Structure 1
Amino acid sequence: MTEQTIPTNEGASSMQDNTIVTTPTEVVPKKYLISFILITLCFPLWGFANDITNPLVKAFSKVLQMSAAEGTWVQVAFYGGYGAMAIPAAIFIKKFSYKAGLMLGLGFYALGALLFLPAAGAQSFTAFLLAFFVMTCGLSFLETSANPYVLSMGPAATATQRLNLAQAFNPVGSLLGMFVATQFIIQKLNPATDAERRELAAQGSQSALDQLSLITANDLAVIRDPYLAIGAVVILMLVIIAIKKMPRTEEKSTNLDIKGTFKRLTANQNYREGVVAQMFYVGAQIMCWTFIIHYGTEVFMKLGMTEQAAEAKSQMFNIYAMVIFCLSRFVCTFLLKYINPGKLLMVLAAGGMCFTGATIFLEGIMGMYALVGISACMSLMFPTIYGIALTGTGDDAKLGAAGLIMAIVGGTFLPMAQATIIDMNVVFNSFSATKASFILPLLCFVVIAIYGKRSQQHLPN
């Protein structure tokens, strides 16, 4: 809880008339508690989808014999769905309700997950990309609905703290997604290396091609099964939300005034810069969590591990990073009671810059530790940028939220740029291209630190 001072009119004397009393401001008022919990349960669902998917860049590259840049089309399709549907989602929510947006989002999410069944049967990378895209069209509706819905469930004074509380459960889904990716995908893939698979393809004989096709079919089935399971869970959540009577915290809009809303939002410097900062934050997060597999595989293979063992150990370090991210989220949510959100954002972005620099220049396991440490600094960023950017936007927040969700497209072109650097193998004659590629997350944290500094003028101390 935070505290709010209000004047009281009780008492006869003038001294009593001017007495200041302190009353608590609830983070989540009791009348919203059950609905808040139910919506908060949706946050781990997209955390799971995000973080079971990140390791698949490496997995698809290996299974289908593609380069890192080609495998990164997984992220382009995945985060492209956010960009494509964010504005339509906001218009839909503004016309109808947050609950309607949640239900439609869960429906698309389940459909995309179930599309993994025909995609695996066809052994088609394009079909998998379509499944990812449909699924994240749903995630776009889900996040565009859930985030502002949580912000609206109580006093404006505690909105950012309330969103950070709900977002603190997002890493629970992320941890589960990473665990499933490690135990039920990466470790269950056929142990044949990239080189061995390419050799089978190069042989060209029918027996070699049949062997490769069998390996590929089994590996794609391994990738498919967790998505079918999460699809069933999402359908269950859809049924629960459809049955539950949810509070309406917004007025139904008959006049959308989209043009006027966009004009006001684009004229709002704090919002405009927040969208840019969010785009760079998401890019940094996806790069650090996707390419930790590439970074760690390079480190651990130099230490004598096999390729598959190095990939599995790297994914375990990704899980450690997410545990740190999760714990840091709760700590930072507590600190927001005492520290200006913009100031804390700036400090953590500076910490991210330091850890990323260490990732680039430290050798061996120390560089890996530094890469894991970045997650402690990232934990606060998404919900805090989101809350800061929407400060003072009023009813425009419904479409404003769409811009901040659309900013997730930073998870498409920035990882693709990093993958292109990684495919160079070495730069400057002998320096690891994988290590050098982390200059991109470093630049992202610079942008975020600048926004944290500039945003402080828009927030109470």
Structure 2
Amino acid sequence: MSDGNETTDQFDPYKPGVSTGTPKVKDIDKGTGIVPKKYLLPFILTTCCFSLWGFANDFTNPLVKVFEQVFIITTSQASWLQFAFYTGYFCMALPAAFFIRKFTYKGAIMVGFLFYAIGALLAIPASMTATFGLFLLGSYVLTYGLAFLETACNPYILSMGPKETATQRLNLAQAFNPIGSLIGMFVASQLLAPNLLVTDFQKDIKEGNPEVVKYLIQDEANLPPGATLADDGKSFVLKDDLNTEVNLYSEGLPDYDTEVGALGAATTNAMKVFRETEPEAFAEFQQADLGYVRTPYVVVAGVVLAFLGIFAFSKMPVFKSEQADAPFLEITARIFAQPRFFGGVIAQLFYVGAQIMCWTFVVHYGMEYVGLTLAEAQSYNIVAMVIFLLSRWICTFLLRIFSPGRMLCGFAIGGIVFTLGAIYLPGYTGLMSLVMISACMSLMFPTIYGIALNGMEEEEAKLGSAYLIMSIVGGAVLTKLQGGMIDDYGVRFSFWLPLACFVVIAIYGFLTFAVFEPRAARESASA
């Protein structure tokens, strides 16, 4: 095991002599290359963590729609899943940073694995008891682990070699994050969604299967026992603990191919009557679907525990700083006094919110406005991720030509244009416009990260990184808000919220190239 001074460098696209280009894999085994030989195994093990948190992030997004259908809840209620998931980052990022300051990166990673596994395994009691709240708790605890992993792994990777290649080293490690994301999306769209009974249930409604259509009440004479007709005569109230209201299709069933949202509404209404009239059969139905949800969590928990064991018995480098860090409050005051950092935290909060909203509710958009199944709608998320990856490679090249601020502003404006397309364009055209937003989002997270931390001292960058990870809470708050907007105003209208996020990011990009970058150039020239 090799010991050395701790070198928690920052992701800095401005640093002279440091290429932001994507490194070649063959460089990782050169003694003086991106990853020195003595750090090769620790680098590989740490890089695997990037894929593990990528899986968790992108397996969670489609579960909002799954839980909405299986638990028969509103989009706003189902969005508590994302709220719980991304609030965990906010709550644990700073404790993770304090842990690293006191102990080691390896220790923080192992704690992260432990939280990750515990959160994933909570899916077992949650599914067996059909308790949505336990799924929320599991997601919250799981992201405690992700906060530890992300707070530790990024600076740990930067420390494993020369400062001159730190950015390239981080880029190489980050290239493995989308692999986990794609696996999570694939599991959700190809292994989970097609096997759900609720998917077949909705298909049967669309095809007019009498075994399912019987739950769509068309005559008040056939109301379920105890149900009462509402005053408007267009709905009835079930005799359950929630006084659930259900549509009465007295004028006949809708045309699912032409009426937006009609199929989803009919599925929900039929599920409510199914639950009320055949509770035992519904419980078996629900248990079967939650069992499908449980399996990926159990598998990934096993993988994470295996990595915990591997890390426990592996020799990992320990980096200790020669000087003690300044007090926490002193560093915090210094970094938040810098407009580019404070603005970066705000911009990152809105970016993460926009990303999670677009990748979560593309499923709702595809199902309600294009008439896709859950699996088909989720497949467009995979298309969005592929576009995201390709665009990131292109942006890596373009950043050698254009300044980060100009790129950020330009791509945010592109995001605004595509979001307007998702709001106003019809059918598949609107859906593809929504998918293309991912091309514009591809450079935003690392670029905002780099702009915000540019020019910081080592101790400032370490704490600044934790605050930037805390800003991931935007994915919790804004996604929950959009879920409520979907319930009240519809999917299309709700995308005004991501559009507002891109406006904030565009302003930050403009300030960067109009104010921050010229100021940095003047300071560099006078130094």
> For this structure pair, what is the TM-score category when the shorter chain's length is used for normalisation?
0.7 to 0.9
- SS for the counterpart of 1:51 is helix
Shift of 1:159: 4.3
1:66 alignment partner in structure 2: 73
Report the residue type matching 1:404 in the other structure: L
Shift of 1:41: 1.7
2:347 alignment partner in structure 1: 277
1:416 alignment partner in structure 2: 480
User: Does the Cα contact within 8 Å between 2:275 and 2:282 map onto a contact in 1?
Assistant: no
User: Does the Cα contact within 8 Å between 2:326 and 2:459 map onto a contact in 1?
Assistant: no
CA RMSD between the two structures: 2.5
Report the residue type matching 1:356 in the other structure: T
1:147 alignment partner in structure 2: 154
2:233 alignment partner in structure 1: none
Shift of 1:155: 5.1
Deviations 1:256-313 (A, max 9, x none): 6111111112112221111111101100000000000011112222xxxxxxx52221
Shift of 1:212: 1.0
How far apart are the structure 1 equivalents of 2:48 and 2:391? 20
User: Alignment partner for residue 311 of structure 2, among 241, 261, 270?
Assistant: 241
1:165 alignment partner in structure 2: 172
1:326 alignment partner in structure 2: 389
1:397 alignment partner in structure 2: 461
Please say if 1:40 is aligned against 2:47. yes
Shift of 1:253: 7.4
Please say if 1:442 is aligned against 2:464. no
Q: How does 1:21-420 map to 2 (within 5 A)?
A: 27-29=34-36, 31-154=38-161, 156=163, 159-190=166-197, 191-193=200-202, 195-196=266-267, 198-199=269-270, 201-202=272-273, 208-251=278-321, 257-301=327-371, 309-393=372-456, 394-420=458-484
TM-score, normalised by the number of residues in structure 1: 0.86
How far apart are the structure 1 equivalents of 2:325 and 2:160? 23
Shift of 1:435: 1.2
TM-score, normalised by the number of residues in structure 2: 0.76
User: Does the Cα contact within 8 Å between 1:32 and 1:153 map onto a contact in 2?
Assistant: yes
User: Does the Cα contact within 8 Å between 1:97 and 1:252 map onto a contact in 2?
Assistant: no
Shift of 1:246: 2.5
Q: 1:361 to 1:95 in 2, by over 3 A?
A: same
Shift of 1:327: 2.0
User: Does the Cα contact within 8 Å between 2:90 and 2:470 map onto a contact in 1?
Assistant: yes
Shift of 1:48: 0.6
Report the residue type matching 1:419 in the other structure: G
Report the residue type matching 1:296 in the other structure: G
Identity over the aligned pairs, expressed in percent? Answer: 51
Q: Structure 1 residues 42-51 or 387-396, which shifts more?
A: 387-396
How far apart are the structure 2 equivalents of 1:437 and 1:177? 25
Shift of 1:95: 1.4
User: Does the Cα contact within 8 Å between 2:331 and 2:460 map onto a contact in 1?
Assistant: yes
Shift of 1:352: 1.5
Look at both structures and tell me which one has the larger radius of gyration over its CA atoms.
2
How far apart are the structure 2 equivalents of 1:89 and 1:3? 31
How far apart are the structure 1 equivalents of 2:506 and 2:461? 24
Q: 1:282 to 1:3 in 2, by over 3 A?
A: closer
Shift of 1:454: 2.5
Aligned length: 427
Deviations 1:183-206 (A, max 9, x none): 22211111223645644544676x
Which 5+ residue runs of structure 1 have no aligned equivalent? 6-24, 302-308, 426-432
Which 5+ residue runs of structure 2 have no aligned equivalent? 1-12, 19-31, 203-263
